[in-house]
Structure 1
Amino acid sequence: MSFGENAIKLPPPPEFELTALDVEKGETVHPLDRLQIMSADTWEIFTLEFVSYLDKDYESVTRCAGAGDKGRDVIARHATGWDNYQCKHYKDKLSVANVVGELGKLVYYTWREDYTLPREYRFVSPKGCSSDCIDMLSKKSRIKAEIIKRWDKVCKDKITKTESIPLEGGLLDYINTLDFSFVDEMSSQELIDRHALTPYHTTRFGSYHLKRPQVRKPEPSAVGDNEKIYIDALLDAFSDADGADYSFSSVMDSEYKEDLERARINFFSAESLEIFSRDAFPTGCYESLKGECHEGLHSVVRKKFDDGYQRFLEVSTQSVNIPYDSHPLRHFLQTSDRKGLCHQLVNDLKFKWIKK
């Protein structure tokens, strides 16, 4: 190595399961970047989607956009009032002037009693707020001062097209009574995190960015509560094949040791896929996968076999041939998952390897 050169360590391998998508498509468009290419109308619908699933006490969520919205975009109503999510889709970050312009409408229309003050007022923008705007929103007392200072330039002739609204008299007295602690922004990352909890997320952002965690291996001597049913069914199948009475410990000294070990690995793989699906895909996605698997195996399970072990082998062989071409999880599905689905179906009491 030459003088002044430093060795560079190789980056660690990825801590997720690679899929065909990863190597065929390369690096994907990150959800944060996708926010930037949404149209203004799509942005409001996107906001409506995640607000509808916020863990709050909302009775209804409606879109109030276009002419006559009086400074309200996505309205979430609760028992004692409402929250407002103000969608601003600009080419640049929100400035102090942008925020003041919107809050000027709020001040004017609540002063006129067209509607009440919201419990929360959140600015929702794909590019977020400028540094100065963030500083203002973090120091709530500054919000009122900025509105008053900028009123003539930003609000006076822009609240309505039909009249000029000077900040004087009763309107000035009213704004001086207001506390703007209910006003804030939602960061782009918070928007993504919130939207990820909705069933709309994968349909809007796709699954390319999703990374399935690596599968945890089973403990050789520790059987989980969720393993007892399918393992007992396998032990019955092994016993049925040669007339022995196998237990979990005794089977480890038999020719079926590898069958059981592979079955546990496959089961853990399928369980991992189920958790991944629950976290990243709409509700019911994994159940539909199990339904397709059951349908693909049903006729094979019903066939007559000499013993339960033969049924287990034939069903396992068939399980890897079931096409899942139209299923959302197809890019994440591995051979171990396909076989592990069989054991999950046994756990669900959909079928057994032998009839008792």
Structure 2
Amino acid sequence: MTSQHDGQPGGEEQRALTVLPPRLSMPRMATPKQTVTFLMGPDDFEEFVKEWVPTQGAKYDLVERQGGAGDHGIDVAGFLTQAKLEGEWHNYQCKQYKRDLTWTTAAQEMRKMFVAAAAGHFTVPSRYVFVALTFAASLKRILSKPSECRTKFLEELSTTRDKLVTKLDDDERRKVKELAEGTDFGMFSCIDLDQVIEEHMTTPHWLARFPHVPLANGPSKLTPPERPRHDEARYVQRLVDVYRERYPDKINTLEQVEDVTEAKGHLLRQRVAFFAAESVRVFARDSTTPGYFDQVKEDIYTIVVEESERSHPNGWERHAAVAICAGTVEVTETILKPYVGPEVRKGVCHHLANDNRLIWCREGEQ
């Protein structure tokens, strides 16, 4: 008899090899810096800078792009008055070069601005910011010493071969020179991409630009004031109706809720939940897109309305059933989802009550 182990070293059975398929790896999403550097075109970069400009602390009357042919060196302008280019304004010069921005390029843009201002196209801006991916260290040093920067600029102005200057007649060149001599070169500065990205993150535009990147900060916690605010009136009244129904001999008004321990604790929990949802609403309004909170409300309403429409012994039971149901809702995948926990979902029910879309007490149920 021949053994199944015959012919194998040591008489041991050889195990079959399992060949695994190659592992698939998902491509990494580009970081914001990579997106701006490699995927944005010049126009989109200017729009990106325009979105960021309001973070700079100035109270601009208007921020607008002016880049293009004949822009006289203005890419993004921040106007501090309604006089716009005839009043005080700031210029943001956008340079999306893959290499360091140097003095040679910066000086050319300065000349363009002074030539246009001397010709009466606009007043000299009170602030002129170069926005670029990176800057040469030598340019940063020059701009950090305004008086030396002006001296260097004027020396080069007299010898430059820049056609913007060489085509001017003597009177026009004199006006440009005098304008530069009377300008405080402290108005020139540079801001690199790292700073722009960090500050752009605080704008409502961040999410649209980089939906896959988490925000640095979530909603700020809001707590209910001692007395309900005017925007709580409807949902609080809906709850008072519940307490009136449950404690007919003890509660008829909001003030009487304080005298019933169970009702008092219940109301406080609902108000805490309302403000938890309110914090997400405010966060969506200020840092993302208001429509995302509206989507959360719709997601929750679509499910809980079915529970609300069912027969319940009373408003207390209906509210409890709806609140439990809200905690099971799978909300749409948006930047808000990580912040929509059980308490926020319960609070959204009271936002829906405020919108008159959920009612707890119905006639004839008790």
Q: TM > 0.5 between the two?
A: yes
Aligned to 2:131: 125
Cα pair 1:29 1:209 within 8 Å, conserved: no
Aligned to 1:149: 155
- In the alignment, the residues of structure 1 paired with residue 221 and residue 50 of structure 2 have an alpha-carbon distance, to the nearest angstrom, of 35
Q: CA deviation at 1:92?
A: 4.9
TM-score, with length taken from structure 2: 0.69
Cα pair 1:49 1:195 within 8 Å, conserved: yes
Q: 1:251 to 1:126 in 2, by over 3 A?
A: farther
Would you say 1:56 and 2:60 are equivalent positions?
yes
Q: CA deviation at 1:33?
A: 7.4
Question: Which one has more relative contact order, counting CA pairs under 8 Å at least 6 apart?
Answer: 1
Helix, strand or coil: the match of 2:313? coil
Would you say 1:249 and 2:258 are equivalent positions?
yes
Among 111, 116, 119, the residue aligned to 2:122: 116
Cα pair 2:67 2:75 within 8 Å, conserved: yes
Aligned to 1:80: 83
Would you say 1:305 and 2:309 are equivalent positions?
no
Among 270, 295, 308, the residue aligned to 2:277: 270
Helix, strand or coil: the match of 1:275? helix
One-letter amino acid of the counterpart of residue 181, structure 1: D
- Sequence identity (%): 22
Q: 1:180 to 1:140 in 2, by over 3 A?
A: farther
Among 46, 49, 52, the residue aligned to 2:48: 46
Q: CA deviation at 1:96?
A: 3.3
1:228-239 matches, within 5 Å, as 229-239=234-244
Q: 1:214 to 1:69 in 2, by over 3 A?
A: closer
Aligned to 1:344: 351
Q: 1:344 to 1:36 in 2, by over 3 A?
A: same
One-letter amino acid of the counterpart of residue 333, structure 1: V
- In the alignment, the residues of structure 2 paired with residue 169 and residue 218 of structure 1 have an alpha-carbon distance, to the nearest angstrom, of 69
Q: CA deviation at 1:217?
A: 6.0
TM-score, with length taken from structure 1: 0.70
Helix, strand or coil: the match of 1:176? helix
Helix, strand or coil: the match of 2:213? coil
- In the alignment, the residues of structure 1 paired with residue 344 and residue 212 of structure 2 have an alpha-carbon distance, to the nearest angstrom, of 18
Unpaired runs of at least 5, structure 1: 1-27
- In the alignment, the residues of structure 2 paired with residue 207 and residue 227 of structure 1 have an alpha-carbon distance, to the nearest angstrom, of 34
Aligned pairs, how many?
320
- In the alignment, the residues of structure 2 paired with residue 216 and residue 169 of structure 1 have an alpha-carbon distance, to the nearest angstrom, of 64
- In the alignment, the residues of structure 1 paired with residue 132 and residue 38 of structure 2 have an alpha-carbon distance, to the nearest angstrom, of 9
Q: CA deviation at 1:29?
A: 8.5
Aligned to 2:331: 324
Helix, strand or coil: the match of 2:260? helix
CA deviation vs aligned residue, 1:281-323 (integer Å, no higher than 9, x gap): 1244434433443344334333332211121022112222333
Cα pair 1:144 1:175 within 8 Å, conserved: no
- In the alignment, the residues of structure 1 paired with residue 218 and residue 61 of structure 2 have an alpha-carbon distance, to the nearest angstrom, of 33
One-letter amino acid of the counterpart of residue 245, structure 1: K
Among 204, 210, 214, the residue aligned to 2:209: 204
Unpaired runs of at least 5, structure 2: 1-28
One-letter amino acid of the counterpart of residue 218, structure 2: R
Aligned to 2:188: 184
One-letter amino acid of the counterpart of residue 177, structure 1: L
Q: 1:295 to 1:180 in 2, by over 3 A?
A: farther
